[in-house]
Structure formats: C-alpha cells, structure tokens
Amino acid sequence: MKQLDIEATLADLTIAEKISLLAGTDFWHTQRIPRLSIPALRMSDGPNGIRGTRFFSSIPAACFPCGTALGATWDILLLEEAGKVMGEEAKAKGAVVILGPTVNIQRSPLGGRGFESFSEDPFLSGSLAAAEIRGIQNGAGVVATIKHFVVNDQEHDRSAVNSIVSDRALREIYLLPFQLAVRDAQPAAFMTSYNKLNGTHCSEHHGLLEEILRGEWKWKGLVMSDWYGTYSTSRSINAGLDIEMPGPTRFRGANLGHAIFSKKVTSHVLDERVRNVLELVNRVALLGLPENAEEKMRDTSETAELLRKVAADSIVLLKNDNNVLPFDRSKRIAVIGPNAKVATYCGGGSASLTPYYAVTPFEGISGKYSDPSSVSYTVGAYSHKLLPLLDSQIVCNDGSSGWMFKVFTSRDDAITGSAEPIDQIFLRSTNNFLGDYTHPQLQHPFYATFDGYFTPQVDGVYDFGIAVAGTAYLYVDDKLLVDNATNQSEGEYFFGHGTVEESNSMELMAGTTYHLKVLFGSLDTSKILNGTSTGMNGAIRLGCALRIDADNEIAYAKEIAKNADQVVLCVGLNLEWESEGYDRTFMDLPGRLDDLITAVAEVNPKVVVVNQSGTPVTMPWVSKVAGLVQAWYGGNETGNAIADVLFGDVVPSGKLPLSFPVLNEDNPAFINYRSERGRVLYGEDVYVGYRFYDKTRKKVNFPFGYGLSYTTFELSDIDANIGEATLKVSVRVSNLGKLPGSEVIQIYVSQHAPSINRPPKELKGYRKIEVAAGASEVVEISIPTKYAFAFWDEERSAWICEKDTYTITASNGTANLQTDVAIEKTTWWNGV
C-alpha cells in the first residue's frame, strides 16, 4: 500500500467509483480501485481475538479472555500490552482493522453479549477501552473499531428495538465510555449499533454521528455499520455513516446513484464519506500489508505467556474461608463439574474463534501433580444447553481428529456417493458455520455430507442431537437416527436462522467404533424460512452425550468429595448460554448444578467453587462453600490460569467489574429489559449496576470492585487536592502479608448536596499497583477536575460541576478511606 493524495484522488474518482467505496465487497473487505492505487482493506473480528476472514474452517488464533475478564484486571498497562498483541495477530491474518473493543454497558445480568464488554461502569469501560485501543493503534499500527455506538445492551429484537433513554443517562452512562476513548486514545473507527436510539436507528442518527461524535467531540475517523445494520440509503449517508457492511451492498450502489441524481445526497456529503475511507487507507498504508494477504498463525511462547498472565490476573477470589486456598499439591484433589474437562474459553457469536489450543481446568490442575492418581474426576451434573460437541472424540478414517466435509451438486449424489464431490475439506469441529464457504462450482441449493467415526469409552445410552440452518439427517452405521429436515422448529441457532436441536438416543458399546454421517442441505432447503434465504449456505451442529442419571451422578460426586483432601467444583455457563443473537432467560446456573454444589458442600466443608461465566449467576449455595473463584471465559490459557490461582502460583488480584446481585429480580433493569412491541425503556436512568444497589441499599452477593487476595493490604494516609484542572488523590498501600501481590485502588466521588438526585458514589479513577511483602507504596491518581465532579445538566445540554463539598473515597473493595474537598464555583462545559 502507498499513501494517497486524498484531494487529488477524490478529484479523479468517478461518481460510480466513489459510491463503490462506501460499502464492503464481501464479509470482510472494502472496495479496491486499482487504477488509483486504492487497495481493498481487510477487517476482522474482534473483541477477544482476531479470527481472520472465515467462520468456516478458520485459521486458528490467539483467544484472549472475554471482555468482563479484561475488565476484572483493572490494569491499564496490561490491556495496552494485550492490545498490541491483538494488533500483531491482526497483521498475521492480513487484517488492518480490528472490530473491537466492545464498550456497551451491562444493564442486566441476562444480556447475551454482556461477556464481550468490560463493565457496568462507564469510567472503567472507557479507560480500559482506551488502553486497548492505544495498544492496537500505537503499539501495532492497526485500526481499532470501538463499538457498538450506542445502547446496544440487549440482543432481543436488536435490529428493530427503540431504546428510549434520557439525555442524562445517555451522557453519563452510555456515551461516556466512547467519549473517554476519544479523549484518551482517538480510535480510528466507530461501529454503529443495530438498534434505534429514541426513535432513530443509530446508523441513521445525525445527532449521534455528526453533532456529538464529529461535532462536539471533534473526532475524525471512519464510521461503519454493524453487519447488516444499515437500513437506508440517503438517511444513513447524510447522518454520517461512511461504510455499509458487509458487502455486497443492499442500500448503496444504484440506490445511492439515484439519491445523488435527485440531490437527496449532495456531492459534498458524498465526498466527505469517501474522504474518510481514503483517510483510513492512508492510516494503514505504512503497515505494508499486501491485499488479500495469506492468513497465518503466530502461536508463540511470548503470546502464550501473556495470555496466561491476563487470564490469571482477571480471576477474582470472592470467598476464602479459613484460607482454604491456595491448595496444597501434596494433597489429593477431587475435580468435579461439567466445566472441568471442557475448555470454556470464549462466549458465542462473532466473538468466537478457533483457538491455537485451549487448556481445560482439569488439564491445568492435573499439571500441578506429578502423580496422576492424586487427581480424581467426575462430571457431577450436566450443564449443556445443546448436546456437547464431539470435537475431541470424532475422527476420520485415517485416525486424525475431526470429520470430512464433502460437497455435492445434487441430493442424490450426496446420498449415494456415486459421483465425485466438487469439494472436500477436513474439519476439526462438529459445529460448522458455512456462511462464508465458497467454491467456484457451488450452486444453490447444494448438499453435503459430514463423515466421521466415534468410539465411546463406556457402555450406555447416548443422546445425539442436530441443530441446523438448512436441513440435516444423522445416520449411525447407515441407520437414520435424527431427522431435522421433515419437520422443523424455529430456534436460536445461527443467529436465529436455525432450528431447535432435534435429538434421538442409541445404546452404544465401549470400544466399538461407529460411523456417523450427516446429510446436509443448504439454508435454501430449510422448512422454517420458506425460501426467503436463497443463496445462503447455512450451518450444522452435531452434539452427543452419554445419558446419565442425575441423582446417581450427584451421589457419586458426593462419595468422591467425601474422601478427598481437597475439592474443586468447576461449573458455570458457556458459549451456548451467553452468545450474540439472544439473551439469557434466567440468571441461575443451568441444569442440576445448584443441587450438585449444595450436595457436595454437605459432605466436605472445604469445597471450592470455580465459576466460569461472562456475567453474574445466582448463588443460593454461597454460604455453604468455603471458597469461590470467578474465572470468566479465559481464552487459550483458561485451565492453566485457573490452576495457577488455585495453587498459589499467582496471587489473585482481580476485582469485579460488575455487581453480582442475589437474584435477577434485584437488578435495576429487571422490569425494563427485552423489547416490548419494538421498544425498551431505560427506566433505571443513571442508576445502573452499583449506582442502583448503593442508592436502594439493596444487598448483593458481591459488590462492584470487590476481590480478595492471598495477602493482606491496608490503606492509610489519604490526601486529596484540587488543582487548576486536576483532582489529585494519594493513598498509602501497605502489604501486611507474607506474599507479594497487586492491589487495585479505586477512587469514588460523592456530592454532599446536589441540586438533583445523584448516585451515592461514582468511580472516577483507579490504579493497580504491585506491592512487595512487608512493603508499602504511595499511590497517586490524577483525575481531570471537570470529569471528577460533573453530571449532565439537561437544561443547559452541558456538563455541570456544582459548587459544593464532595467526599473522596479510596477503596480496595473491602476497606475505605475518605476525605472531603470543595468546588468553589459552579461551571459548565462541553466537548472532551
């Protein structure tokens, strides 16, 4: 790539060429114009790792911990380092634009994409996003795309729902993370959200894109739509939306040409949209990446080390009665639970990817022992929403792990296998999204087979299940077992285009190898979409599990736990429960997990629970267990990081980036969540998360900012001073324990006599610091005065800092120090 003379290039472009630059050509690329040396730019998801250009048969990548895990580190320097590595991963995939970070606010524990975002708090979200963006852009030279602008905080009806939000809540809670990222990092790209904001789709919202983002905040860069989040031609162009994604276009092309002809879009607006695209080209030109670059892996030891550190530093120790942790590796341990032998490394949807590798908690824990007999295991209870994938159990006829995908032009050829397939590809996973699969001979509809072999380890009845976007039949040893084609029911699979899982059972013998074959028809053949999906490929998912008696399995887990020196229960959610495309319907742990934890705790008072989820779960057993660890979705190094904390190789330092309420009914958005006939009222206003729990004095299981350590910290000597433009707070942090550790000092501000209702306290600054055993450090935190004390004045459409006395609280989540400062004069401000 080379730098362009932007104004000269604009003058040389034809109107048709200008129009072509304002939409993608496919799922991941912008338009190229070779005669003017304008290259195609490659984009890639996303929030916790760089997938590359393919959902289907993708090149493996580094998977970072999920957004809430990154939020739990409260570590700006670490996120800058992580952002730089994300940028290097993007370059290995030939991508110059990363579609992340995500900074939407967790209004409710049930949000399907809550795990993607950092926090319920706008300051923590914005400051961590800025750190990651600086790493991506300044450290690696790649473009970061902050998203989703704005209030895309639920999945239900997300493309149609009208989010009704007060100006004050919009400014103080939902826009503030974006504003802080602009102030501190200048992201080169913004992505609009799917939903409407107060009656107008965000991709068509002139007030949002032109008046606030580009006008008030003086931001310069490119605005793109979320994928299929463009809903108009003239309105979106005039509102400030530069690029419609993905391609090929639906609303630009000839439609935009006609809008220009009729002057619904003027030439100077068209040029401004194109200019932003060309500026982006110039920004990434220095990277020197070729167009359509080969996608590669960069699975290095340095990357693995960083992933392990980020994952471990994100883990939050919530309970540690009688110092049950860290574990002693000289003592026997029982590992129980459905998350133990599965690497729950990421949430679902566009944040998901194929990792270089993924370490299970059982592997991480077992790795701490030289004698395998010291570690016992049982599943205890199932927690799956869909039957577990056969990824690690299905093999091809040559013994390699995976199954064979063969494509045919006719159904008869697929059934009989009498004709040569037009394509065949070895696949490692039994969950395959075919949306971006291509082949020169592919015609619609098309048919395919998936072939593999399964050898069960124990005798028993096995349940097999198929979910499909299209049609599918499962044959076991050439006998039809599951029919998900003749009669289909609409489900959540494949972003709502797929079916519910259809299942059937079969008794299998241990050591016997069974041939599994799926006959698949593309999405065109679906019964539930009635032919509205012509040309779309679809998706297929095969799952299988040994049928267990839940009561007997829990009884067996109790016996193992009773005789163990140490017990860890690995439970939680996974990418089926937390995913783009739908929200959770309840906050409880799935299946019989609550029963399992309660039963095991009855026979062993030293039980430690490791919960993996991106957002809160109910914990009716919390008073009965000795230890509790919140481990999130930890990326490639999930299992190693969990084991490092459990055995004390890492002293836990994570703090909760969101409150854990007792019940879903306790959360502030409870009565105003989900779309109701196309609208959702943000009735909690500014009282999101801890702001609500503090105001109503409602009990939570664990509060925002909370997290324990294996050492003991003491805070003392708080001091706060207001300078000309900066509030400076200092506090002494002493490590009274015998282990070195890191502590997060959180600064909250409370106004004594505000002219309107305000939350009792609001986070305005923080810093993570490492302190040696027996040592102390003075932490100094500087906060711009206008940000430290302001709220949004709806009468003046400006931020206001009122003359008043304010309490400054320094907290580590368990202990607080306070002092007062005074603002002598009321002032208003706008901008950043």
> What are the catalytic residues?
226
Minimal CA–CA distance to 488: which of 505, 517, 466?
A: 466
Looking at the DSSP assignment, which residues form a beta bridge with residue 801? 827
Query: How far, in Å, CA of 21 to CA of 32, rounded?
Result: 8
Burial class (CB in 10 A: 0-12, 13-18, 19+), 510: exposed
Query: How far, in Å, CA of 482 to CA of 501, rounded?
Result: 10
State the virtual CA torsion across 95, 98, 99, 103 in degrees, nearest 10.
170
Give the DSSP H/E element, type plus range, for residue 611: strand 607-612
For the chain, helix, strand, coil in percent to 5 are 25, 30, 45
Query: Where do we find the tokens 């409407």?
Result: 196
Minimal CA–CA distance to 541: which of 588, 605, 474?
A: 474
Query: How far, in Å, CA of 780 to CA of 785, rounded?
Result: 15
Find out whether 578 and 618 touch, Cβ atoms under 8 Å: no
State the virtual CA torsion across 375, 379, 385, 390 in degrees, nearest 10.
70
Q: HSE of 424 in the Cβ direction (CA atoms, 13 Å)?
A: 12
Minimal CA–CA distance to 554: which of 378, 429, 719?
A: 378
In the 3-class helix/strand/coil scheme, how is 7-64 assigned residue by residue?
Answer: HHHHHHCCHHHHHHCCECCCCCECCCEHHHCECCCEEEECCCCCCCCCCCCCCCECCC
| Ordered DSSP codes for 786-812 | HHHH-EEETTTTEEEE-SEEEEEEEE-
Could you tell me how many helices (H) and strands (E) the chain has, helices first? 20, 38
Looking at the DSSP assignment, which residues form a beta bridge with residue 741? 771
Which residues have C-beta within 8 Å of that of residue 47, sequence separation ≥ 6?
Answer: 66, 67, 99, 100, 101, 102, 116, 351
Q: Give the three-class secondary structure for 345.
A: coil
Q: How do strand 566-572 and strand 333-336 relate by DSSP bridges?
A: parallel
Query: How far, in Å, CA of 716 to CA of 756, rounded?
Result: 32
| 280 to 40, 129, 276: CA distances (angstroms) | 11, 20, 6
Query: How far, in Å, CA of 70 to CA of 824, rounded?
Result: 38
Beginning with the edge strand found earlier in the chain, give each strand of the sheet holding 143-149 in spatial order. Answer: 43-45, 97-99, 143-149, 189-192, 222-224
Query: How far, in Å, CA of 561 to CA of 377, rounded?
Result: 10
What are the structure tokens assigned to 605, written together?
A: 């008072």
Minimal CA–CA distance to 335: which of 561, 113, 166?
A: 561
